[in-house]
């Protein structure tokens, strides 16, 4: 049917415990809103007792004339488990709740709110706007709803806000019920239902056109009559079944496809065995004058479908989900770093979870990308996410995705989360130590079950991923103070890689600096001379920013090389590179082979003067060296020494 003539049939399925005297408030709201859609859809209200809900829904399903059912959240969740007709829940938005509370406060000073499954955290922020005491509770089934209503009544709440079922329960318990929904929320639901119906109809038309092309080209096709006898068979199907068209003509379809179930009343897919091969069969009934008049069966080899699916996944994969770096690009000759690199290459051949630890700027993501590119998952996506870069609410939807209508403002059709986007590939969780504890539980389930439950979804989606996590934090310390789950730690800490900081790789500093300089545009020999002048200072620096900091300094050296060669006589190395001349924290300088701290901050006022004199003596009177060890300026050191002599 052309889209302009397509009028979806939408059933508003309402339930009640006892027969009502006249239309219910919900029915009145839907009737009011439905008038706006008389040229866009057929909207019908079906009111049914709660005990007959499933029977009524299955009757509607059998009639095959309903495009969508809209109902309350609890009813929708129940029906989705028992019928195939699309079901959309009427959601209560924040503004709907505000309107209902405004009405409720005129009737009582204490108001109860009952919501299906999820509370409304924004109510706490709006509490000061209302002059009533609010109490919010949730329910997941009818019995829980009844118990929650009774508890609110027992606690003295005279008005209860909720769905039509909650209103009915409240009134049966002797208190007032206020319907949280209004005509605007009904219109929003109907608009969403219409959009989904048109989208499904368009998809169906496209699917039918595509199948028509496939049936006439490369797929195996059999057409049978109402008695199940073969009327025609195309050459591809004859090859798949290893028969001739003349032999198959007029025979019962079960002689050709013994495992095929032809009882389908609507289009469906089946997997069937034919000899040693498995075929994917699509059964499309032919309906004439409302009666079945045969069937078209389209078959494809499952291996061909799998190959096509892999090609589609690769072609449709977003470009940002790729890994650029490989082990061959990683520079470094320090023994500790080479050992880490060799271990990483060995880990690349495994599919186990990897935990990479190391300070910020040491190249943990570079190592993770190299792991991916050296593994069998290299053609698949490499999805990286920084767990510290998102707010908790955003991180949850980014990781796990959401279904359409999961919350206000969701994208039509929902959204695939990053975990699903990494299917068959690698998921890199950077700064895992900063992930909120509430999300760690959901991540643990992903690691255990290899399935993802989108926000607002009722069924999980299986995923095939390898997880690589990285952190600069001490996860054991986070476990001790409750910021990281111990069970998640042991799920992540299967294969361990510790990336050494740059200060422990002094032999690599010059090598890395020269390699980074070569990447700068327009590098000249004079730039290398400037870098050579800087090298002694680079070797003495403590590198709190590691390789990232080294890259910044090299780029600055390339930009300022001309100034340093004499064009700007007022500039000096200390002016352009002050971090190379700053006093480094003693804990990073390793002044002594032992762990004794010279820094004045670790000593009380009484002891610091004597300690300062001791360090100066250890430095044989070299005040600059003593100040550096103590982590203070030369002026501060002189002041401390003068105080110790009483001058």
Is the pLDDT confidence value at 470 over 90? yes
Residue 621's pLDDT band, with cuts at 50, 70 and 90, is confident
Name the more confident of 3 and 578: 578
Distance separating alpha carbons of residues 170 and 178, to the nearest angstrom: 9
How far is residue 574 from each of residues 156, 188, 579, 628, measured CA to CA in Å?
A: 74, 65, 8, 16
How far is residue 126 from each of residues 110, 118, 469, 538, measured CA to CA in Å?
A: 15, 17, 39, 56
The residue-averaged pLDDT of 409-424 equals 76
Q: Can you give the pLDDT at residue 5? A: 72
Is the pLDDT confidence value at 164 over 60? yes
User: Under the phi-then-psi rule, with left for phi > 0, alpha for psi from -120 to 50, and beta for the rest, what region is 355?
Assistant: beta
Read off the DSSP letter of residue 272: E
Q: At 440, list the tokens.
A: 């760690």
Q: Can you give the pLDDT at residue 226? A: 86
Distance separating alpha carbons of residues 324 and 465, to the nearest angstrom: 19
Superfamily of domain 3-90+185-197: Response regulator (3.40.50.2300)
- The values of phi and psi at residue 470, to 5°, are -140, 150
The residue-averaged pLDDT of 411-438 equals 85
Distance separating alpha carbons of residues 337 and 371, to the nearest angstrom: 15
Residue 488's pLDDT band, with cuts at 50, 70 and 90, is very high
Measured N-to-C along each axis, helices 53-63 and 73-80 cross at an angle, to the nearest 10 degrees, of: 60
The residue-averaged pLDDT of 303-332 equals 75
Q: What dotted CATH number matches 502-580?
A: 1.10.8
Q: Can you give the pLDDT at residue 495? A: 95
Is the pLDDT confidence value at 493 over 90? yes
Instruction: Report pLDDT digits (tens) over 386-395.
Output: 888 777 777 8
**Cα–Cα nearest to 403, from 443, 441, 459:** 459
Distance separating alpha carbons of residues 175 and 107, to the nearest angstrom: 11
Residue 104 in 3-state DSSP?
helix
Name the more confident of 442 and 356: 356
The second-level CATH assignment, the architecture, of 94-180 is: 3-Layer(aba) Sandwich (3.40)
**Residue 388 near residue 339 (C-beta atoms within 8 A):** no
Residue 210's pLDDT band, with cuts at 50, 70 and 90, is very low
Instruction: Report pLDDT digits (tens) over 69-103.
Output: 998 888 888 899 989 899 998 877 667 777 788 78
**DSSP letters along 543-576, please?**
-TTHHHHHHHHHHHHHHTHHIIIII-TT--HHHH
Which residues pair with residue 355 across a beta bridge?
469, 496
Is the pLDDT confidence value at 593 over 60? no
The residue-averaged pLDDT of 126-147 equals 81
Q: What dotted CATH number matches 327-498?
A: 3.40.50.300
The residue-averaged pLDDT of 344-360 equals 94
Q: Can you give the pLDDT at residue 265? A: 72
Least confident of 203-217, 318-332, 544-558: 203-217
Q: At 285, list the tokens.
A: 């009934």
The residue-averaged pLDDT of 553-582 equals 74
Q: Which residues are CB-neighbours of 385 under 8 A, at least 6 positions away? A: 395, 398, 399, 418, 427, 428, 429, 430
Within its chain, how far is the Cα of 52 from the centroid?
Answer: 39
Is the pLDDT confidence value at 122 over 70? yes
- The values of phi and psi at residue 479, to 5°, are -65, -40
Radius of gyration of the chain (CA): 35
**Cα–Cα nearest to 196, from 410, 47, 461, 453:** 410
**Residue 152 near residue 137 (C-beta atoms within 8 A):** yes
* 110-116 and 133-139 beta bridge pairing: parallel
- Degrees, nearest 5: CA angle 55-61-66: 125
Residue 289's pLDDT band, with cuts at 50, 70 and 90, is confident
The residue-averaged pLDDT of 569-574 equals 66
Distance separating alpha carbons of residues 406 and 401, to the nearest angstrom: 10
* Burial of 642 per CB tally in 10 Å (0-12, 13-18, 19+): exposed
Beta strands in 226-288 (DSSP E): 230-233, 268-274, 277-288
How far is residue 110 from each of residues 98, 152, 157, measured CA to CA in Å?
A: 15, 10, 5
Is the pLDDT confidence value at 629 over 80? no
How many residues belong to the chain?
647
**Residue 579 near residue 541 (C-beta atoms within 8 A):** yes
* Residues above pLDDT 90, as percent of the chain: 23
Q: Can you give the pLDDT at residue 586? A: 44
How far is residue 102 from each of residues 99, 148, 183, 187, 591, measured CA to CA in Å?
A: 5, 22, 16, 21, 69
Superfamily of domain 218-304: PAS domain (3.30.450.20)
Q: Can you give the pLDDT at residue 330? A: 92
**Residue 397 near residue 455 (C-beta atoms within 8 A):** yes
Q: Which residues are CB-neighbours of 623 under 8 A, at least 6 positions away? A: 616, 634, 637, 638
Q: Can you give the pLDDT at residue 489? A: 94
What is the average pLDDT score of the chain? 81
Name the more confident of 458 and 471: 471
Residue 491's pLDDT band, with cuts at 50, 70 and 90, is very high
Q: In what order do the strands lie in the sheet with 466-471?
A: 382-386, 426-430, 466-471, 354-357, 495-498
Name the more confident of 265 and 200: 200
Instruction: Report pLDDT digits (tens) over 474-484.
Output: 899 899 888 89
Is the pLDDT confidence value at 600 over 50? no
Is the pLDDT confidence value at 215 over 70? no
Which residues pair with residue 179 across a beta bridge?
162
* Residues above pLDDT 70, as percent of the chain: 85
Is the pLDDT confidence value at 580 over 90? no
Residue 602's pLDDT band, with cuts at 50, 70 and 90, is very low
The residue-averaged pLDDT of 612-636 equals 74
Distance separating alpha carbons of residues 367 and 329, to the nearest angstrom: 10
**Residue 91 near residue 185 (C-beta atoms within 8 A):** yes
Residue 588's pLDDT band, with cuts at 50, 70 and 90, is very low
The residue-averaged pLDDT of 219-240 equals 86
Name the more confident of 304 and 447: 447
Q: Can you give the pLDDT at residue 569? A: 52
**Cα–Cα nearest to 33, from 213, 181, 245, 227:** 181
Q: At 531, list the tokens.
A: 């870098």
């Amino acid at each position: 049917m052309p889209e302009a003539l397509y009028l979806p049939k939408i059933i508003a399925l309402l339930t009640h415990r006892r027969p009502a005297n006249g239309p219910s408030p919900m029915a009145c709201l839907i009737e009011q809103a439905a008038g706006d859609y008389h040229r866009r859809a057929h909207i019908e209200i079906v009111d049914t007792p709660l005990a007959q809900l499933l029977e009524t829904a299955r009757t509607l399903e059998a009639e095959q004339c309903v495009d969508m059912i809209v109902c309350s959240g609890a009813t929708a969740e129940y029906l989705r488990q028992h019928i195939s007709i699309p079901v959309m829940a009427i959601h209560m938005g924040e503004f709907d709740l505000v309107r209902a509370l405004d009405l409720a406060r005129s009737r009582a000073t204490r108001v109860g709110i009952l919501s299906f499954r999820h509370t409304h955290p924004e109510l706490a922020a709006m509490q000061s706007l209302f002059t009533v005491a609010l109490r919010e509770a949730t329910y997941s089934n009818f019995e829980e709803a009844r118990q929650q209503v009774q508890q609110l009544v027992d606690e003295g709440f005279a008005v209860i806000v909720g769905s039509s079922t909650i209103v009915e329960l409240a009134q049966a318990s002797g208190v007032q019920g206020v319907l949280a929904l209004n005509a605007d929320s009904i219109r929003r639901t109907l608009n969403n239902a219409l959009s989904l119906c048109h989208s499904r109809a368009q998809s169906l038309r496209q699917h039918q056109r595509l199948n028509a092309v496939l049936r006439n080209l490369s797929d195996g096709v059999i057409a049978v009559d109402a008695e199940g006898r073969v009327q025609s068979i195309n050459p591809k199907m004859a090859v798949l079944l290893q028969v001739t068209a003349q032999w198959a003509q007029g025979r019962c379809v079960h002689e050709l496809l013994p495992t095929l179930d032809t009882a389908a009343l609507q289009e469906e897919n089946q997997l069937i065995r034919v000899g040693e091969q498995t075929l994917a069969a699509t059964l499309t009934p032919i309906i004439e004058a409302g009666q079945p008049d045969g069937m078209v069966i389209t078959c494809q080899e499952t291996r061909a479908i799998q190959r096509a699916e892999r090609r589609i996944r690769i072609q449709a994969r977003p470009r940002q989900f790729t890994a650029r770096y490989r082990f061959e690009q990683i520079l470094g000759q320090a023994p500790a770093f080479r050992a880490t690199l060799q271990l990483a290459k060995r880990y690349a051949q495994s599919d186990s979870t990897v935990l990479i630890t190391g300070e910020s700027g040491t190249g943990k993501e570079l190592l993770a990308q190299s792991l991916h590119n050296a593994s069998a998952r290299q053609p698949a996506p490499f999805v990286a996410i920084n767990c510290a870069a998102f707010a908790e609410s955003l991180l949850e939807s980014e990781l796990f995705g959401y279904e359409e209508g999961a919350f206000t403002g969701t994208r039509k059709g929902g959204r695939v989360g990053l975990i699903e986007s990494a299917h068959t590939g690698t998921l890199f969780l950077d700064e895992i130590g900063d992930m909120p504890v509430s999300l760690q539980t959901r991540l643990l389930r992903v690691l255990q079950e290899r399935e993802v439950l989108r926000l607002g979804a009722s069924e999980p989606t299986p995923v095939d991923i390898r997880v690589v996590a990285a952190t600069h934090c001490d996860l054991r310390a986070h476990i001790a103070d409750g910021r990281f789950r111990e069970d998640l730690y042991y799920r992540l800490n299967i294969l361990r890689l510790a990336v050494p900081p740059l200060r422990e790789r002094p032999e690599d500093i010059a090598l890395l600096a020269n390699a980074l300089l070569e990447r700068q545009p327009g590098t000249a020999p004079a730039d290398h001379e400037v870098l050579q002048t800087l090298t002694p200072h680079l070797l003495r620096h403590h590198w709190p920013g590691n390789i990232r900091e080294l890259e910044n300094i090299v780029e600055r050296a390339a930009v300022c090389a001309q100034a340093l060669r004499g064009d700007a006589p007022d500039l000096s190395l200390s002016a352009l590179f002050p971090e190379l001349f700053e006093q480094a924290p003693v804990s990073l300088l390793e002044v002594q082979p032992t762990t004794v701290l010279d820094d004045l901050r670790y000593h009380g006022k009484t002891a610091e003067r004597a300690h300062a004199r001791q360090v100066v003596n250890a430095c044989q009177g070299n005040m600059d060296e003593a100040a550096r060890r103590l982590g203070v300026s030369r002026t501060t050191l002189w002041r401390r020494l003068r105080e110790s002599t009483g001058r």
